[in-house]
Structure 1
Amino acid sequence: MTGYGQQTALFAPRLAGMGHDVVVSAYYGLQGAALHWGGLEVWPGGEDPHGNDIVGPYARRHLDDDGLIVTLLDLWVMMKTVGMRQHRVAAWIPVDHDPVPPQTVMALAHHEAQPIAMSRFGERMLQDAGFDPVYVPHGIDTHVYQPQDRAAVRAALGIPESAFLVGMVAANKGTAPPRKAFPQALMAFAEFRRTHPDALLYLHTELLGGPTHIGMDLLHYMRQIGLPESAVRTVDQDAYAMGLPPQYLAAAYSAMDVLLSPSYCEGFGIPIVEAQACGTPVIVNGFSSMPELCGAGWQCEGERAWNELMQAWFQQPDVGSIVACLEQAYSAAGDPDMGRRAREFALSYDADRVAADYWKPALEQVGG
């Protein structure tokens, strides 16, 4: 399930439980006919990959004149939406560049949408761009993502109890550059392991860049940088493609000594919070939303880089700085205080708390 799908699954039922009449428009993953899920009606996607052709008709069918459309995606992909402007729009949007990319500014103006920032970074960038955003962070189910018995989950995953386990949970998409910073992260781990032969890397991702080659061939890259196969564990690729339950991922986080997540940019960064909910500290890039999500862990440094596609800045993480963070994580491995701080921090993003403390007042403010 995608990050957007996770958030929809968490919050659509909770908003309905607050008394709102909620219908979900699934522009991806459902075709042909509507279905009922968790007491909610879910409408299928159309011909357009981002729902431009169906959101307007669905809104006219379901909403009265005062109804509200809440979007959860990069709004600029919906500039050709038919009929959406006839309704009020609140856009729960990722902002992961500095400044807000011009296409996002244009889309918000086009739809006359109320922006909902999913990070404090995004809130600041939207304010700098002249908007008055509402803040609602992403959330997680902290009953699923919680610390598990380390020895048991390591045995189940085939990880030696004595290993220092570094994990990456990241979608392998994009090559110019790979936004999740696979080249820098893997190179840093390879360098770190030269002096720490007990270190293992667990990759929870698609290894070959997907059937349409939209990402990196990670196996080839690891051979090029001299990272031996014996130092790497990977998620079962068939199971990953078919979809693994969140309980599996919670076990993987609990087996790690640290999550390595130094992306070029993040609109939010759900794995960063999930890992901490399982008592695992994190290494993040010191840019966009990531610093505010690092309750227990370390921030690597980097160099601002221009993203021509988005006409804004993101940050390339520095390999040497990642290595230094891995050294600090190695020294702190097994520190129970670090695990407690990680868990306590992540509880502030529990989905029930986010619904009550942020979604309820946000919808009151926008008039939903």
Structure 2
Amino acid sequence: MKLMFLTDRIWGRSAYSKVLKSLSMRLTRDHEVSAVPMGNALKGIPFMSPLNIMGANVYGCGNDPFCEDVAYEYYDKLNADLLITIKEPWNFNTVPKLALNYVPMAIIDHTPLSPHLISRVDTAFKVIAVSRFGQRELKANKIDSTYIPHGLEPHYECLWDQKDECAKTWYLDPDAFKIGIVAMNRARKMIPRMFRAIRVFIDNNPDIKVQVMFWGSIQGTAMDYKPHGVGDTGASLIKEIVDLDLAETIQWSDEATIAEGIPERLPTMGWDMVTLYNSFDVLLHITGGEGFGLPLIEAQRCGVPVITTDYAAGPENVGIGLTVPYHDYVVVNSVGTRYALADIDATADALAKIANADKDKLARKGVRFTERYRWDNIMEKHMNPFL
């Protein structure tokens, strides 16, 4: 088949870049894969003059940040069988209306589904749900879908006897209780709420030495485009850290490194995502809602328990760790999607439980749980039958 993807750049570090890269490496064995990168990532390339990157033919983008101004022309010229988008469906305005085999990977991170999102998937040729939660929400709105989750590459692993070395690589104390946060600085991620929960945990457990590694932008930036009025703005976190008296507890990287990203795995011990996850004792991820939550399974594959909000797709991806309840929600975009506010005291209690748990036992369970998310398993059980 001829498969055309609209998503983030295949050479990038985002979750969607990772998904495209992993799919492309496997799909190109039996299919012809093309990709058009979003976010104006490859401008100036002549039309129909692709670059071959990781087995995929990557074409130049248009002026629209989601490539909707060139999507149909590429689809037609390539004689593509499917146009697969890996992005929140509400970002698209014209593609769902075109006469083509449009297949959205529906990233569903809220309930009830907003009418805006429904209108972007109810005209699709087929719909892929990346979570069981999303599949249920779509079914409730009479939209059929096929479950195909995101996955993990083999280089994600638990470095059993190198945990202390991993911590030292990231300037963390091996004897401290190390809380990791891996998230973009966006309103939906509720990072200030995570900091508040950490403050409560520290106050409740003064005998535990705590260190926090925040892997995300500390300054926060606004999106440089707001499709259909949807905004998800990040905030400067410095004042929150200072006001909560966490300046000596939380550490973060420079903005350039965060923007560029780091490799998933280096040949030797160094700054990569596998070493980062292995330096944690817990991943704190009490966001407002996850369409999948890739950091959750990446951390558990590295033997690290997780804490997430009991809302949207996050809970189904918790094999080791805890979910915390929410009692209220906020609406932070013009689409009107509801994002949960995780209970701060319950989060602090969850941190205390994990701080006193058997780390090795949790790690073994986490590795077993995430076996189902290995990309080769996902291709065999889900993607190949779908195609």
TM-score, length-scaled by structure 1: 0.91
CA separation of 1:106/1:211 partners in 2, compared to 1, >3 Å: closer, same or farther?
Answer: closer
In structure 2, the partner of 1:273 is 297
In structure 2, the partner of 1:159 is 172
Q: Distance in 2 between matches of 1:219 and 1:53?
A: 39
In structure 1, the partner of 2:244 is 225
Q: For 1:319-334, what aligned pairs fall within 5 Å after superposition? A: 319-332=344-357, 334=358
Structure 1 residues not aligned, in runs of 5+ = 364-368
Aligned to 1:115, which of 107, 111, 127? 127
Aligned to 2:103, which of 82, 87, 90? 90
Q: For 1:220-259, what aligned pairs fall within 5 Å after superposition? A: 220-227=239-246, 229-247=247-265, 248-259=272-283
Shift of 1:211: 7.4
In structure 2, the partner of 1:168 is 181
Q: Distance in 1 between matches of 2:209 and 2:255?
A: 25
Q: Distance in 1 between matches of 2:376 and 2:22?
A: 9
Question: Which whole-Å deviations, capped at 9, do the CAs of 1:86-138 have from their partners, x for residues lacking one?
Answer: 221111110111122211111123x4332110000000000000011110001
Contact 1:73/1:92 (8 A) holds in 2? yes
Q: Distance in 1 between matches of 2:222 and 2:136?
A: 38
Aligned to 2:220, which of 187, 209, 214? 209
Q: For 1:1-368, what aligned pairs fall within 5 Å after superposition? A: 1-17=13-29, 19-28=30-39, 29-33=41-45, 34-63=50-79, 67-81=81-95, 85-109=98-122, 111-147=123-159, 149-173=162-186, 178-194=187-203, 195-196=205-206, 197-210=208-221, 214-227=233-246, 229-247=247-265, 248-307=272-331, 309-332=334-357, 334-363=358-387
Contact 1:253/1:275 (8 A) holds in 2? yes
Aligned residues: 352
Q: Distance in 2 between matches of 1:90 and 1:198?
A: 49
Q: Distance in 1 between matches of 2:88 and 2:125?
A: 13
Q: Distance in 1 between matches of 2:312 and 2:90?
A: 19
Q: Distance in 2 between matches of 1:280 and 1:207?
A: 23
Question: Which whole-Å deviations, capped at 9, do the CAs of 1:136-176 have from their partners, x for residues lacking one?
Answer: 00111132344351111112111111110000000002xxx
Q: Distance in 2 between matches of 1:92 and 1:145?
A: 27
State the SS of the aligned residue for 1:114: coil
Shift of 1:317: 0.5
Name the stretch that deviates more: 128-137 or 150-159. Answer: 150-159
State the SS of the aligned residue for 2:248: helix
Shift of 1:328: 0.6
Letter in 2 for 1:233: Q
Shift of 1:52: 0.9
Q: Distance in 2 between matches of 1:152 and 1:226?
A: 28
Q: Which has the higher helix share?
A: 1
Shift of 1:235: 2.6
TM-score, length-scaled by structure 2: 0.87
Letter in 1 for 2:256: D
Shift of 1:43: 1.0
Q: Distance in 1 between matches of 2:182 and 2:250?
A: 14
Identity %: 24
Question: Which whole-Å deviations, capped at 9, do the CAs of 1:275-299 have from their partners, x for residues lacking one?
Answer: 0000000001011111100000011
Structure 2 residues not aligned, in runs of 5+ = 1-12, 225-232, 266-271
Q: Distance in 1 between matches of 2:157 and 2:180?
A: 16
Letter in 1 for 2:219: L
Letter in 2 for 1:150: K
CA separation of 1:102/1:249 partners in 2, compared to 1, >3 Å: closer, same or farther?
Answer: same
Question: Which whole-Å deviations, capped at 9, do the CAs of 1:39-86 have from their partners, x for residues lacking one?
Answer: 22111211001111011111011125xx1111111223222249x722
In structure 2, the partner of 1:366 is none
CA separation of 1:304/1:113 partners in 2, compared to 1, >3 Å: closer, same or farther?
Answer: farther
Q: Distance in 2 between matches of 1:314 and 1:327?
A: 25
CA separation of 1:263/1:35 partners in 2, compared to 1, >3 Å: closer, same or farther?
Answer: same
Contact 1:135/1:362 (8 A) holds in 2? no
Contact 1:27/1:44 (8 A) holds in 2? no
Q: Distance in 2 between matches of 1:361 and 1:116?
A: 12
Question: Which whole-Å deviations, capped at 9, do the CAs of 1:163-204 have from their partners, x for residues lacking one?
Answer: 10000000002xxxx211112110010121222450111100
Segments of 4+ in structure 1 off by > 6 A? none
Shift of 1:312: 4.1
